Structure 1
Amino acid sequence: MLVFKSAFRLSLLICFSFLILNETAAAQDVYAAWRKDWLQKAREFTPALKTTIKKPVGIVRIEKDASAFQGWKAVNAGGADQLYSSSINKRNSSIVVDFGEHLTGYCTITLKTRRSDMDAPVRLKLTFGEVPAEIATPFDPYPGGLSRAWLQDEIITVTVLPATITIPRRVAFRYLKVDLLGSSPNFDFNIADLSFKASTSVRMTPPALTAGTSQIIKDIDCVGLNTLKECMQTVYEDGPKRDRRLWIGDTYLESLANLYSFHNDSLTRRCLYLLAGLANEDGMLSADVFEEPEPHSHNTRLLDYCYLYNVALKEYVAGTGDKQTGLDLWPVAKKQLDIARKYALPDGMMDYQKANKEWWVFFDWKDGLDKQAPLQGITIYTLNQTYELAKILGKENEVADLPAFARKLKNAAHKSLYDKKSGLFISGKDRQISYGGQAWMILSGVATKAEAQRALKTLPAVTDAVHPGAPYMYHYYVAALIASGLNAEAKQAVIDYWGGMIKKGADTFWEVYDPVDEFKSPYGFFPVNSYCHAWSCTPVYFIRKYPEIFQR
């Protein structure tokens, strides 16, 4: 009996301890009460992908051309009929197929014998490329900083012909190079059929631009729509070739473009709920999440992306009128404000040095960019945008301190970062002048309209100004031009930058584009760059939101 009572007490103690531990764990997870519902809603909004069978338009030669993008161009070498009528053998061991447009999905190839019996296996190497240089540049020895496996080359070995093979890996490409690695000289074979199952969650065609729109703006809009379409899969992917995951910064810009084009609002809802459901237990968002094998966080702590979640949610609610999603996710937006409160110093300046040590503070793929001014600006911008969201949702009383908080940071920024003599905003101990610094000081409202116009008109003449390194920062520069009332300059900036990519052959816009360095890569090897990238699609947003600027 004594033993039984002791065992019973021990059982009670274990159960009690278990309950205490569970309650403690739940208390540590600030979103414990909502996660399950958020993830369920994310599942419910998963789109059914639309698939389309695509066929090659012909074959091409990849030729050197110093005037072409990255030194290579595709030259027409025959139609699709020539592809299917040509033998593959040692004399004709390589062929490049052009599908005529950027596609994302799965490739199927059918091979058959043309002469004699197949007396040995056939081994082929298939290389998928988004741009001609990706086809022409040897991948090995691989010098890049990211996984070599991102490069899209596959080897297949076939022992019996005829055969139809579907490559199991999803690829994103326009050009396909087929190289013969091994076969017997005693027989010939050929490609009997080649098809591609392309996928996207886009199901509608946006309205045409006005008749008076210039051709270059129409072209930019078309390529921007193609870029957005390819990245809209079951989430807003950053790039369908690489990284193929959901990033907050890309999602914000994609959702803006989507609001004014494809109107696939359920995809935006899915992404917002998914990011919320996979946030860290301390309430801070992960900058990116994976869908497979189960949705999970990558635990990337990127400061400016946490802020941009609030802005994306506000733009979504304002653009669609879907207050329920805003109310559901309000706790997440409210929690991200803790970042501003943690790093704001008594004088109203953000503690950039501390924030930069504890977070990845990104803003742009640009070496040497000082981020003090951008961080101060985006903090103020986020405070203002979150307060606008609160007003839409009737939650102003929960964040009543935001207007005064934003004013304090705004006044401090103007006092510390504005150089009256030059009319420009500086950043950091070296007083750096950058496009990003001006953009965020303007978007945040730190600059008056007159100061903004002066800064942006002065900026091009500053020889050591730090330029944007990618279309991502260029978006905010164009947004700043529009916010300053410099409409003609904004239109010209879009034509010069994104139109520059089109003139160099882009049929989707690229992850990284520096007009003076076509080989720029944050990863040490330009073929691993993404040449269809979400954050590059935003001319669609500008062109369609501001027709009075861009469609006249």
Structure 2
Amino acid sequence: MKRFFLIAGLALLTLGSTSLAQSAYFSNSKEWLRKAEACRPELSYQTISPARTVRSVQDAKAFQGWRMEDAGSTDILFNEPFKKHPSITLDFGNHYTGFLTFSIKPFGLVAADAPVRLKFTFAEVPGELNTPLEPYKGGLARSWVQDEIVTITSVPHEMTIPRRLSGRYLKIELLGISGSFDFVFDKLTFKAQTSVTNEAPALASTTEPLIQDIYKVGLNTLKECMQTVYEDGPKRDRRLWIGDLYLEALANAYTFKNHELTKHCLYLLAAFANDEGLLHATLLEKPQPHPQYGTHTLDYCLIYNVALLEYLKETGDTETAADLWPVAVRQIKLALRQFSPDWIYDMDKQPQYWLVFDWKDGYDRQASMQGLTIFALQHSYELAKRLGKEKEAGEWLTIAGKMQKAARRHFYDKTLGVMVSGKDRQVSYLSQVWMILSNTLSKKEGAKAMATVMSMPDACYPGCPYAYHYVIEALLQCGMPQEARNLITGYWGSMVKRGADTFWEVYDPNNDYLSPYGFFVINSYCHAWSCTPVYFINKYPEIFQK
């Protein structure tokens, strides 16, 4: 479904990008954009040299069937003629985001009498470098693959590849050269960038080694995605999504504490709401900040309110929260129109909205949306109280109560002790999760529901770390800390054990090749919504640091 909206959104962008108009619904949108730009973070830079050369090794036990092994020093790049090694893979030792600069010079006295053509392929995981790309099968643009062909007509030559790149591995291939000429690299460096400047807190010495590793990888994921907005992924899509913003902001609050970045993103999203005040799910920064027109996800619109509340709680910045309060009010009003007279979310009511929640085929979202709306009403009312705007919040808590009662009548299977969803009465992890987080299920009922669903082999389980974040939240809320710890060490720990330097956009331990886009190479292997173990580890040290 995301494929459709990305393609449709880009088509609409072509039509609407000339004006890049702010929201016509909110009169303050131009001022909000000014405030967003005023707190746009500065980037910090670090020059990285490749740590070693590596070779790809096919290994059925490795993630996606490939791993890297040490192939020696990078000296061969600078001291030996390139024709001797016409394909070299470099390992920078960690995941970085930024720009590659290189220079080449003649090897010997012979001048180049024909252009030199090189191919540079940057990759986040080994499988990207070892999977045939053609014919291209992905549902997103082929141009997201980080392969760049450079033709050099005169040597010596120095250049910076214009495209921003993201990954750990760089494969350099010789595609064309004169028979009488050869060269060596004179320089090859990577200028890495991030808006992170503060150090994250260290963990207690009692912390289990695997959790320490998860923390390290989570911090690296967050650092890489914290650019001038909270990017979803620095390789792809390189833009701000509300769902990623919320989880990144939670993680940032317990680690790097760059609250100006959160403020910047909240204002940007508000400034580009559509003409009825509904937030766009995603926003791009260049050539100027603009939304992906027509892309709306109602669950994300409601999560914006929760993100605004968490920002206020963390910073005490009542000025910003009060400024953006009308946006929160409008998201609630627009969401409530999607409910039936008996307060059940109507999946068929027009306009129909894309609901994210998870990357999972066959997952029914109705019960989850019911629970999330209740959750958002409760948190939005708390925001109102903190701002002294309870009167404007009106009947929100009353409506939330009616939705809870309706949910128990419509979705609760008393025999099984679980929430079901949709016409087929599907049992899923996330249906339980959102009814727990919205307090529709009591702590005792929630614990029973989670224990039941996790023991059901045919239950619809999550497909990505974004969804598993909320599973952890629900387990903690209903008094299951050991299960929460086991899930973090089992799920995120599995990625670490399989070589992750940063956490992946989608991950199913039973399917290395899972992709929402029909081709795993185009997946993001450094993704913002996957970084939240760092939030849990720091917020609950009594659970995760002992």
Normalization by structure 2: what TM-score?
0.94
**CA-CA distance at 1:340 after TM superposition:** 3.2
* TM alignment of 1:207-286, pairs within 5 A: 207-286=201-280
CA distance in 1, matches of 2:76, 2:217: 29
CA distance in 2, matches of 1:201, 1:537: 16
**SS of corresponding position for 1:180:** strand
Match of 1:105 in 2: 98
Pairing partner for 1:326 from 317, 321, 329: 321
Matched residue of 1:507: which SS?
coil
Distance across 2 between alignment mates of 1:242 and 1:310: 26
Contact 2:505 2:525 in 1 (8 A): yes
Instruction: Give the letter for the 1:311 counterpart.
Output: V
Return the alpha-carbon distance in structure 2 between the equivalents of residues 504 and 196 of structure 1.
Answer: 25
CA deviation digits over 1:398-420, x for unaligned, max 9? 11311111000011111211111
Letter paired with 2:317: D
Match of 2:336 among 325, 334, 341: 341
Shift of residue 370, structure 1, vs aligned partner: 0.5
For 2:154 and 2:347, the matched residues in 1 are separated by 63
Q: Is 1:173 aligned with 2:167?
A: yes
Q: Is the 8 A contact 1:60 1:96 kept in 2?
A: yes
1:39 to 33, 39, 45: 33
* Aligned-partner residue type, residue 533 of structure 1: H
Q: What amino acid maps onto 2:166 in structure 1?
A: A
Residue 288 of structure 2 is aligned to residue 288 of structure 1: no
Residue aligned with 2:511, SS: coil
Indicate the residue corresponding to 1:385 in structure 2: 379
Shift of the alpha carbon at 1:37? 1.0
Matches for 1:59-458 after TM superposition, within 5 Å: 59-89=53-83, 91-115=84-108, 116-299=110-293, 300-354=295-349, 358-458=352-452
Q: Percent identity?
A: 54
* Alpha-carbon distance between aligned partners in 2 of 1:62 and 1:110, rounded to the nearest angstrom: 25
Unaligned runs of 5+ in 1: 1-25
Tell me how far apart the structure 2 counterparts of residues 267 and 219 of structure 1 sit (CA, whole Å): 26
In 2: Cα distance, 1:490 partner to 1:147 partner: 37
Q: Is the 8 A contact 1:352 1:375 kept in 2?
A: no
Matched residues in 2 for 1:163 and 1:29: separation? 50
Cα deviation 1:480-519 (Å, max 9, x = unaligned): 1011110010011000000000011000000010110110
- Which residue number corresponds to residue 12 of structure 1? none
Q: Distance in 2 between matches of 1:450 and 1:254?
A: 30
Aligned length: 523
| CA distance in structure 2 between the partners assigned to 1:85 and 1:436 by the alignment | 56
Which residue of structure 1 aligns with residue 7 of structure 2? none
Structure 1 residue 184, shift from structure 2 partner:
1.4
**Are the equivalent residues in 2 in contact too, given 1:47–1:267 (CA < 8 A)?**
yes
User: Conserved in 2, the CA contact under 8 Å of 1:390 and 1:399?
Assistant: yes
Query: 1:500: which partner in 2?
Result: 494
**Contact 1:491–1:550 (8 Å) recurs in 2:** yes
Q: Please tell me the residue identity of whatever aligns with 1:218.
A: Q
Deviation at 1:82, TM superposition (A): 3.1
Q: Deviations over 1:175-194 (max 9, x none)?
A: 00000000012122112211
Q: CA RMSD in A?
A: 1.2
Q: Which residue of 2 aligns with 1:520?
A: 514
Q: Is there any run of 5+ residues in structure 2 with no aligned partner, and where?
A: 1-20
CA distance in 1, matches of 2:502, 2:450: 28
Aligned to 1:532: 526
Distance 1:121 1:547 in 2: 59
Secondary structure of 2:349's aligned partner: helix
Given that 1:370 and 1:428 are in contact with CA atoms closer than 8 Å, whether structure 2 keeps it comes out as: yes
The AA in structure 2 aligned to 1:441 is M
Which structure has the larger Rg?
Answer: 1
Contact 1:59 1:83 in 2 (8 A): no
What is the Cα deviation at residue 92 of structure 1?
2.2
Amino acid across the alignment from 1:370: D
Q: Secondary structure at the match of 2:121?
A: strand
Structure 2 distance, partners of 1:444, 1:86, is: 64
Residues 1:53 and 2:28 aligned together: no
- Range moving further from structure 2, 249-258 or 294-303: 294-303
Q: TM-score, normalised by structure 1?
A: 0.93
C-alpha contact (below 8 Å) 1:434/1:466 kept by paired residues: yes
Stretches (4+) displaced over 6 A? none
The one-letter code matched in structure 1 to 2:132 is P
